[in-house]
Amino acid sequence: MKVAVVGATGLVGSEILTVLAERNFPVTELIPVASEKSKGKEIEFKGKKYKVVTPAEAIALQPQVALFSAGGGTSTEFAPQYAEAGITVVDNSSAWRMDPSKKLVVPEVNGDVLTASDKIIANPNCSTIQMVVVLKPLHEKYKIKRVVVSTYQSVTGTGVKAVNQLMDERAGKDGEKAYPYPIDLNVIPHIDVFQDNGYTKEEMKMIKETNKIMGDESIRVTATTVRIPVMGGHSESVNIEFESDFDVTEVRELLAAQEGVIVVDDPANLKYPMPKDAHGKDEVLVGRIRRDESQDKTLNLWIVADNLRKGAATNAVQIAELLSKRGLI
């Protein structure tokens, strides 16, 4: 299968290449795609070298699938051109996520919605992906009424510039800034731009995307998203109110049986998920599972995942795997 990776030289694009190799996706020819300034650069994949081409040039090479991770502007301009040429696009930007004509997919949650006619498929926001994988079995069993989520997100979610800012500050050096404030030894309760309602765009993404992926507008979600000085891995404190009551032991069993989830919940032995444990893993880790004693039918959870993998690259590759397995590409 001919596979194009658009944004192949970026943080997520590089991770997509790693995940494609690790999961043995059936790539017969890789087409690494980046901006004009990276044209001609060589990318190594599974021992072979491939030259970087521009987004326009890649269309003529006719890949069956194109995994986009080059920002909303590139996706808005080129994804329709790829789709028009019969190429299936899995897009990691926010460009198409809330478009009612496009599917927003986490394979373990709603992979069954995909059809051969879906030529532009949206990959959700990283913090939404890890949460809905955990919510799915609980919603099926107890029906979720409301979710309150606070996130603790890695600088890798912003990109290379933010990683450099953190490392420069840690080394006591001046350098280019990704954030309006220092991030080392600090916490910034501000991800993406503020909206008129006082929420940030990242917070509104989590709210709207959760409803769309879960296929249930009745689930009420409120979010506070926070950037912390961690190099990789997003963490979330999640409070879930259900319509039906639950048994905590059964909750653990449901989560342990959910595809893509690993339960790490043994506080007596100080076992709980941390970003360093999620690093390089495709699964979502969940722990600190306990009843909210302030309110009936309400549960507290702590969810951690590698934001560059399950939060971005792995989910995109899993969508491509699903399409391939079902003969949709």
Query: Residue positions in the annotated binding site for substrate?
Result: 153, 227
Shortest CA distance to 159 belongs to which of 271, 69, 56? 69
Written as one letter, the residue type at 4 is A
Known binding-site residue numbers: 9-12, 37-38, 97, 153, 227, 307
Q: What is the distance between the alpha carbons of residues 275 and 215, in angstroms, rounded to a whole number?
A: 29
Helix, strand, or coil (residue 146): strand
- Output the CA–CA distances (angstroms, integers) from residue 177 to 70, 174, 192, 225, in the order listed: 20, 9, 15, 20
**141 contacts: CB under 8 Å, gap ≥ 6:** 244, 246, 250, 254
**Is residue 279 flagged as an active site residue?**
no
Task: Output Rg (C-alpha) for the chain, integer angstroms.
Answer: 20
126, 139, 190, 279: which is the annotated catalytic residue?
126
Known binding-site residue numbers for phosphate: 97
- Given a contact cutoff of 8 angstroms between Cβ atoms, the answer to whether 141 and 220 are in contact is no
- The conformation of residue 271, written as its DSSP 8-state character, comes to B
Known binding-site residue numbers for NADP(+): 9-12, 37-38, 307
* Half-sphere exposure in the Cβ direction for 243 (13 Å, CA): 10
Shortest CA distance to 27 belongs to which of 5, 59, 8, 1? 1
The 10 Å Cβ neighbour count of residue 219 is: 18
Q: What is the distance between the alpha carbons of residues 246 and 253, in angstroms, rounded to a whole number?
A: 12
- Given a contact cutoff of 8 angstroms between Cβ atoms, the answer to whether 300 and 237 are in contact is yes
Shortest CA distance to 247 belongs to which of 300, 297, 301? 297
**Is residue 139 flagged as an active site residue?**
no
Which residues are known catalytic residues? 126, 234
